[in-house]
């Protein structure tokens, strides 16, 4: 395994569902080493590696595993409900390296004492439900899942569940509600899922990519993993690169790589670069200065953003920022789960104003009203979804507010001139 | 279920052993969404959940009908209203928008004569706008039924729609 390729290395296999080919390229070697350790040692190893959750929040994975409460039944859930606009890395992992995820799940289950695991796949990826089920069947047959894993006493079974179309379900508490056949409402923490999760039992929810990096820590050692990337956010990371860029796709780079390095790897921007949205729809919209930013959890916080899911959407000068505002606000309004009033109503107000602006019926005062609405939502929304809308909105208005305002004024002028 | 909490019905325990008609074993609740997908697409061209089917699922799982209705309405992929034999889900996330999703929307609108959320008069196609299909590397994207369709020309999109409209069951 080279130091700049882990998941993407397995992704080059001709048939991702060929378990022998996976094993031949040192697949399952991490599981073998992990099972030779005690569960406590496995958790300690993950803590030493510094692995942080790749779903968006960046919570230290070892710490999460360690915090699971003691109970007769515990669960492991793989969050494959990838819905963050601009993000397609989990689809990539599941399509190209499904066994890596299963291996990571088996190690995690061993560490936390889970006998049952679920993979919750978003409804929009129906083909992945089928391919995962067949990967699971092969892994059980080969003794890497199921009863007596690798001939020992450890037993772990994985089942696949499918979502019904909802962005909010990507939140771990909402995902658990959905997995239990309910509306996908987030619930208040504490208690954390590590204490009361699935069916009220202690549950660990990890992102697809997080689990896919776990085997590396055991195959190559925690130090090897920790030596890659930046000290606060070690390891490799998958970046979803899209928009006005020559070769959009999923790129695996060390944490702390710059946006410029990613852009260069993807062949550079098409046209004149104007803006970059980093981290997903709930991430800020930066101007081209963001090329110099380092992509890791800590560095992105310092510039007022978030690494999020590692999505990078490049926009060139053909893009009207009023349209970006419209698309972004509409996303929030349509995906708000409606559980709490500030988010349900606030997102609709914001989408209304953004749509008016984009369709040439906006008013100059909307810009301030939108900021005010977002501020109220930050302070009063139930979950991070409603609180996060301020980040894209404020960054867009800070960086491109003049453009939006002049667009609004021009439209007003045209309307008056037409009378 | 509690408003802010985990559902009280763990799903696996049998809550209603009250009457003889309800003695049968309930389905485990974590399979609910899979069942809804299954019943919604039970036969080719059927893309919605009928009232009778909903009642059947409510009985299979032991969920009050009103609660089940609330669950179904929460998820965008399910419909209790009749939809076209084929569902076009056009992605209009930021990546797709800046790579031309509006052009495709206008093209399909003109070709089929339907806007967002509508079904063609012959019941062949329904057009939906979705917020991200997770394939932004190949924007603009859409799903036609279960198949991801990416980066195609208008002529190629036409060819797919025409061939679907022709194949009758």
Which residue among B10, B94, B133 places its CB closest to the CB of A313? B94
Contact: B29, A127; criterion CB under 8 Å:
no
Residue found under tokens 């391919």: A131
Contact: A249, B29; criterion CB under 8 Å:
no
Q: How far apart are CA A185 and CA A177, in angstroms?
A: 7
Nearest to A127 by CA among A160, A78, A84: A160
Nearest to A314 by CA among B92, B152, B137: B137
What is the per-residue pLDDT across A359-407, written as a single tens digit (0 to 9) for each? 999 999 999 999 999 999 999 999 999 999 999 999 999 999 999 999 9
Indicate the DSSP class of residue B147.
E
Domains and CATH numbers, chain A: 7-226 (3.40.50.11540), 236-316 (3.10.20.600), 321-418 (1.20.1440.230)
Contact: A180, B34; criterion CB under 8 Å:
no
The 10 Å Cβ neighbour count of residue A152 is 11
Percentage above 70 pLDDT, chain A = 99
The answer to whether the beta carbons of residues A119 and A159 sit under 8 Å apart is yes
Would you say residue A158 has pLDDT above 60? yes
The 10 Å Cβ neighbour count of residue A415 is 11
Q: How far apart are CA A281 and CA A263, in angstroms?
A: 19
What is the per-residue pLDDT across B92-117, written as a single tens digit (0 to 9) for each? 999 999 999 999 999 999 999 999 99
Q: How far apart are CA B129 and CA B119, in angstroms?
A: 13
Q: How far apart are CA B91 and CA B96, in angstroms?
A: 6
| Residue of A342 and B4 predicted with greater confidence | A342
Could you give the 3-state DSSP secondary structure of residue B64? coil
Residue of A71, A174, A242, A337 to mutate for B, most B C-beta atoms under 10 A: A242
The C-alpha angle B150, B154, B159, rounded to 5 degrees, equals: 90
**pLDDT attached to residue B21:** 47
Q: How far apart are CA B80 and CA A410, in angstroms?
A: 44
The phi and psi torsions of A205 (rounded to 5 degrees) equal -110, 120
Q: How far apart are CA A171 and CA A124, in angstroms?
A: 17
**pLDDT attached to residue B19:** 46
The answer to whether the beta carbons of residues A110 and A154 sit under 8 Å apart is yes
CA distance B125 to chain A (A): 18
For residue A258, the cross-strand partners are A294
Q: CA nearest B9 in A: which residue?
A: A199
What is the per-residue pLDDT across A28-43, written as a single tens digit (0 to 9) for each? 999 999 999 999 999 9
Residue found under tokens 């019941």: B123
pLDDT category at B168 given cuts 50, 70, 90 is low
Segments of A182-290 assigned E as strands: 203-207, 236-243, 249-254, 273-278, 285-287
**pLDDT attached to residue B116:** 96
Domains and CATH numbers, chain B: 1-82 (1.10.10), 86-166 (3.40.30.10)
Nearest to B76 by CA among B31, B115, B40, B42: B40
| Residue of B151 and A19 predicted with greater confidence | A19
Residues of A in contact with B94 (CB under 8 A): 85-86, 243, 277, 281, 313, 324, 327-328
Tell me the CA distances in angstroms from A413 to A204, A364, A404, A416, one per residue in order.
56, 12, 14, 5
The answer to whether the beta carbons of residues A79 and A205 sit under 8 Å apart is yes
Mean local confidence (pLDDT), A125-138:
97
Q: How far apart are CA A327 and CA A309, in angstroms?
A: 19
Interface confidence (ipTM) of the complex: 0.94
Q: CA nearest A270 in B: which residue?
A: B99
CA atoms within 13 A on the CB side of B95: 36
Residues of A in contact with B99 (CB under 8 A): 243-244
The answer to whether the beta carbons of residues A251 and A11 sit under 8 Å apart is no
Rounded to two decimals, the pTM is 0.93
Q: Note if the bond before B140 is cis, omega within 30 degrees.
A: yes
Q: How far apart are CA A307 and CA A55, in angstroms?
A: 10
- B15 touching chain A per CB within 8 A: no
What is the per-residue pLDDT across A274-290, written as a single tens digit (0 to 9) for each? 999 999 999 999 999 99
Q: Note if the bond before B42 is cis, omega within 30 degrees.
A: no
Residues of A in contact with B34 (CB under 8 A): 161-162
Could you give the 3-state DSSP secondary structure of residue A183? coil
The answer to whether the beta carbons of residues A42 and A49 sit under 8 Å apart is no
The 10 Å Cβ neighbour count of residue A115 is 14
B86-91 and B141-144 beta bridge pairing: antiparallel
Cα torsion A139, A145, A147, A150: sign: positive
Q: CA nearest A124 in B: which residue?
A: B133
The phi and psi torsions of A238 (rounded to 5 degrees) equal -90, 130
Residues of A in contact with B98 (CB under 8 A): 243-244, 313, 315, 318-319, 324
The answer to whether the beta carbons of residues A24 and A98 sit under 8 Å apart is no
Contact: A339, B78; criterion CB under 8 Å:
no
Q: How far apart are CA A202 and CA A65, in angstroms?
A: 10
SS3 track for A326-345: HHHHHHHHHHCCCCCHHHHH
CA dihedral A230, A234, A240, A245 (to 10 degrees): 20
């Amino acid at each position: 395994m080279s130091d700049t390729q882990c998941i993407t290395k397995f992704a080059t296999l001709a048939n991702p569902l060929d378990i022998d080919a996976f094993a031949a390229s040192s697949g399952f070697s991490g599981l073998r080493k992990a099972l030779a350790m005690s569960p406590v040692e496995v958790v300690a190893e993950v803590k030493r590696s510094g692995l942080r959750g790749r779903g968006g929040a960046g919570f230290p994975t070892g710490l999460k595993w360690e915090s699971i409460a003691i109970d007769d039944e515990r669960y492991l859930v793989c969050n494959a409900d990838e819905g963050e606009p601009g993000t397609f890395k989990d689809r990539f992992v599941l399509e190209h390296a499904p066994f890596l995820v299963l291996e990571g799940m088996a190690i995690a289950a061993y560490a936390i004492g889970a006998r049952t695991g679920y993979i919750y796949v978003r409804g929009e990826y129906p083909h992945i439900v089928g391919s995962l089920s067949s990967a699971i069947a092969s892994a059980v047959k080969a003794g890497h899942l199921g009863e007596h894993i690798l001939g020992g006493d450890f037993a772990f079974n994985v089942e696949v569940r499918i979502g019904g179309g909802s962005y909010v379900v990507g939140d771990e508490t909402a995902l658990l509600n959905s997995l239990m056949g309910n509306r996908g409402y987030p619930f208040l923490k504490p208690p954390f899922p590590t204490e009361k999760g699935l069916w009220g039992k202690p549950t660990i929810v990890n992102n697809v990519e997080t689990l896919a990096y776990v085997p590396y820590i055991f195959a190559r050692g925690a130090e090897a993993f920790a030596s890659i990337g930046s000290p606060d956010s070690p390891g490799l990371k998958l970046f979803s690169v899209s928009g006005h860029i020559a070769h959009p796709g999923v790129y695996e780079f060390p944490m702390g790589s710059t946006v410029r390095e990613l852009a260069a790897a993807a062949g550079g921007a098409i046209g004149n670069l104007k803006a970059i949205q980093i981290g997903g729809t709930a991430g800020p919209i930066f101007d081209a200065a963001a090329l110099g930013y380092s992509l890791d959890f800590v560095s992105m916080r310092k510039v007022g953003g978030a690494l999020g899911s590692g999505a990078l959407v490049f926009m060139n000068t053909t893009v009207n920022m009023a349209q970006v505002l419209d698309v972004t606000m509409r996303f929030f309004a349509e995906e708000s789960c409606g559980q709490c009033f500030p988010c349900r109503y606030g997102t609709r107000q914001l989408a209304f104003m953004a749509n008016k602006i984009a369709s040439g019926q906006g008013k100059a005062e909307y810009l301030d009203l939108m900021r005010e609405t977002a501020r109220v939502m930050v302070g009063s929304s139930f979950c991070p979804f409603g609180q996060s809308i301020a980040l894209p909105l404020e960054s867009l208005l800070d960086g491109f507010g003049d453009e939006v305002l002049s667009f609004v004024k021009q439209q007003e002028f045209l309307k008056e001139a037409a009378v | 279920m509690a408003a802010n909490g985990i559902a009280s019905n763990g799903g696996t325990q049998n809550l209603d052993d009250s009457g003889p008609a309800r003695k049968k074993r309930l389905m485990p609740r974590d399979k609910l969404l899979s069942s809804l997908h299954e019943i919604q697409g039970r036969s080719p061209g059927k893309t919605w959940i009928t009232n009778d089917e909903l009642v059947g699922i409510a009985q299979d799982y032991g969920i009050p009908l009103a609660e089940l209705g609330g669950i179904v309405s929460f998820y965008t992929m399910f419909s209790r209203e009749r939809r076209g034999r084929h569902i076009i889900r056009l992605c209009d996330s930021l990546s797709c928008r800046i790579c031309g999703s509006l052009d495709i929307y206008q093209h399909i609108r003109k070709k089929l004569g339907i806007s967002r959320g509508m079904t063609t008069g012959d019941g062949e196609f329904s057009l939906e706008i979705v917020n991200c299909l997770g394939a932004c590397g190949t924007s603009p994207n859409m799903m036609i039924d279960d198949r991801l369709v990416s980066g195609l020309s208008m002529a190629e999109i036409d060819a797919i729609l025409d061939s679907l409209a022709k194949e009758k069951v």
